[in-house]
Amino acid sequence: MSEGIKLIVGLGNPGSQHLGDRHNVGFWFTDLIANDYHSTFKTESKYKGEIANTKINSHDCKLLKPSTFMNTSGTSVAPLVNFFKLKSENILVVHDELDLAPGEVRLKFQGGHGGHNGLRDIISRLGSKNFYRLRIGIGHPGHKDAVSGYVLTKPSATDRTLINNSIEDAMRVLPEIIAGEFNSAMKKLHTK
């Protein structure tokens, strides 16, 4: 039996101008957890981010929203992981995924960064890719040259509804993810 998840990292960019951006779906997810489980984020300068302590079905878990920009997310994640002596296998990173359509969400373990600069920096600074990822689909703009502008803009109302639905799907299996019941969570999440 796995020890489960001790840290959930939601990826995004800080600042009110980025709140609704596609790139910030990781923040949307961790904000929803904090709201649903009555936790409050506090700014922690030594970890370059906002941290909340929460309890999900009797499992203690930390939430982290890096206040660095996306491309340097690892400078927030690594100090916290090192200080609390967390294993990479006990980390869930929640991020936007171009290769999944809005409304799709996938849970996976390990893997490369797939061109995602937030993941790239976390892998580099942790020295490991052995962590869980919750990949929230935002769709692809169609051409790689359009990606930067696309992730830094708000989704259409239809896409936002689909993304919110996928986040709700993930929230329903969150207790299983936290408890380390990954196969059960994946089966429910990946089967429509």
187 Cβ partners below 8 Å, 6+ apart?
A: none
Known active-site residue 23: yes
Q: Which among 92, 105, 75 is positioned nearest to 165, based on CA atoms? A: 105
Long-range contacts of 154-158 (CB under 8 A, 24+ apart): 154/20, 154/21, 154/22, 155/22, 155/102, 158/102
Alpha-carbon gap, residue 55 to 62, rounded angstroms:
9
> Residue 78's CB: how many other CB atoms inside 10 A?
18
Among 23, 59, 95, 140, the active-site one is 23
Q: Which residue has the tokens 């941290």?
A: 51
What is the set of active-site residues?
23
